[in-house]
Chains A and B, each alone.
Chain A
Amino acid sequence: EAGVTQFPSHSVIEKGQTVTLRCDPISGHDNLYWYRRVMGKEIKFLLHFVKESKQDESGMPNNRFLAERTGGTYSTLKVQPAELEDSGVYFCASSQGPHSYYGYTFGSGTRLTVV
């Protein structure tokens, strides 16, 4: 079984540019989550999809961040325009059911550096 796949693994962009991160969850996992870790801080929840619907997007920092999951398969997280404070590691995770009784499977993350 393939794990959660994230692309790209690293991205370096200039302030003001746009970046799109992609996450392919484990096949059959309806629940998909985005998290972010800024250096020196905790991993923070961003949002939760159930299939193509946003179940909880209360962690999204501002309207420069847009997440989509068209068709309920892979998801994208777009940052436009990127700011310096957006630098960090963006993790995606997926789970089979609505509750984390089985834990989430995390992807290896995308390290975003905004210069």
Chain B
Amino acid sequence: QKEVEQNSGPLSVPEGAIASLNCTYSDRGSQSFFWYRQYSGKSPELIMFIYSNGDKEDGRFTAQLNKASQYVSLLIRDSQPSDSATYLCAVNNRLAFGKGNQVVVIP
């Protein structure tokens, strides 16, 4: 079983819509959860982190954590073409990464 799973294929959303990404993790003792964005050919950059159950909002981004179900999600509201990238879920201080979800925002 992989430490972090991101199973969805590429996600295409129209501009202005909500993009929803999901991630599950295997270690029930995990404490810290991160979403990174990676543009093609660039390095990952941190966009959100969450430690407590519930929602955390930062601008157009909302991270949701459910430790009982071992999943963390990312919502991107009012999606913009500039949001087109690969979004990586990572867990814990060592950063166990998922494979990432590619998001394409269609103008």
Contact = CB atoms under 8 A, between A and B. Distances in A.
Nearest to A3: B43
A103 B99 contact: no
A35 interface: yes
A91 B95 CA distance: 13
Contact of A107 (B43, B88, B100): B43
A56 interface: yes
Nearest to A100: B93
Q: Which of A35, A56, A104 has the most CB of B within 10 A?
A: A104
B28 interface: no
A104 B46 contact: yes
B38 to A, nearest CB: 9
Contact of A109 (B4, B43, B88, B97): B43
A96 to B, nearest CB: 13
Q: Which of B32, B45, B95 has the most CB of A within 10 A?
A: B95
Contacts of A99: 32, 93
Interface residues on A, range: 20 to 34
Q: Which of A33, A43, A45, A93 has the most CB of B within 10 A?
A: A43
B94 A45 contact: yes
A1 to B, nearest CB: 15
Interface string A66-84: 0000000000000000000
Contacts of A100: 32, 34, 49, 93, 95
B42 A103 contact: no
B97 A43 contact: yes
A44 B32 CA distance: 17
B43 A35 contact: no
5 contacts: A41-B99, A42-B99, A91-B44, A101-B32, A101-B49
Given A42-B98, A107-B43, A108-B43, 6 more contacts: A33-B95, A91-B44, A100-B49, A103-B49, A104-B46, A106-B44
Interface of B: 2, 4, 32, 34, 42-46, 49, 88, 93-100
Interface of A: 4, 33, 35, 41-45, 48, 56, 59, 91, 93, 98-101, 103-104, 106-109
